[in-house]
Amino acid sequence: MFLLAAEGGEAHNPIVPIWQELVVGGVAFALLCFVLMKFVFPRMEQTFQARVDAIEGGIKRAEAAQAEANQLLEQYRAQLAEARTDAAKIRDDARADAEGIRADVLAKAREESERIIAAGKEQLAAERATIVRELRAEVGTIAVDLASKIVGESLADEARRKGTVERFLSGLESAGAR
């Protein structure tokens, strides 16, 4: 009796499906499934996948850029350190050079001064010797002249005269050396 309800009985039974509605609903839903499952949702999956790829690709690119930047930074740091070492080395070298030059100049100056002093000493000694020699002759003559005048007569005896002068000069030298 329930099955007949759909066919045109007076009372409807809500728990018995109407077969026309089953058919209509089935066809309509099949159409909906066909269109959505064939043309829409697979494309959504593709879009999701493309989006994932895009994001992951972006992350990868960013990582690569980061790595490159890090590498460059390392490189620059290394270069900087190298430059610092170089600068220090150059400074040290310059300092060493300056030290060497100074020492050289000092040594040369010392040498020069020693040379000058030595030359001066030599000259002095030579002059002194000349003077002594000249003085010796002159003092001899003057002394002889003086003695001749004092004694009033010329000392004929050459040997005696020489001996006397020599003695006097020795006395004179020892007096000068004292």
Partner 1 sequence: MNGAANVLAQGEAAFPPSVEDFYLPSIVPWGAENSYWFTKITAMVWLAVGILIIFFLASYRKPQLVPTKKQWLAESVYGFVRNNIAVDMIGHAGVRFAPYFTTLFCFIFLTNLFAIVPGLQISPNSHIAFPAFLAVISYVLFIYAGIKHHGAGKFIKNSLIPPAPWYILPLLIPIEFFSTFLVRPFSLAVRLFANMFAGHMLLLVFTLGGFAMINANALLAPVSLLSWVMTIALTFLEFLVIALQAYVFTVLTASYVQGALADEH
Q: Which residues sit at the interface with partner 1, rule CB under 8 A?
A: 6-8, 11-22, 24-26, 28-29, 31-33, 35-37, 39-48, 50-51, 54
Minimum distance from residue 83 beta carbon to partner 1 (Å): 47
Instruction: Spell 133-147 as b/e; 16+ CB within 10 A means b.
Output: eeeeeebbeeebeeb
Indicate the residue among 8 and 176 with the shorter CB distance to partner 1. Answer: 8
Indicate the residue among 19 and 76 with the shorter CB distance to partner 1. Answer: 19
Tell me if 55 sits within 8 A of 45, measured CB to CB: no
DSSP 8-state code for residue 37: I
Euclidean distance between CA atoms 3 and 12, whole angstroms: 10
Indicate the residue among 24 and 88 with the shorter CB distance to partner 1. Answer: 24
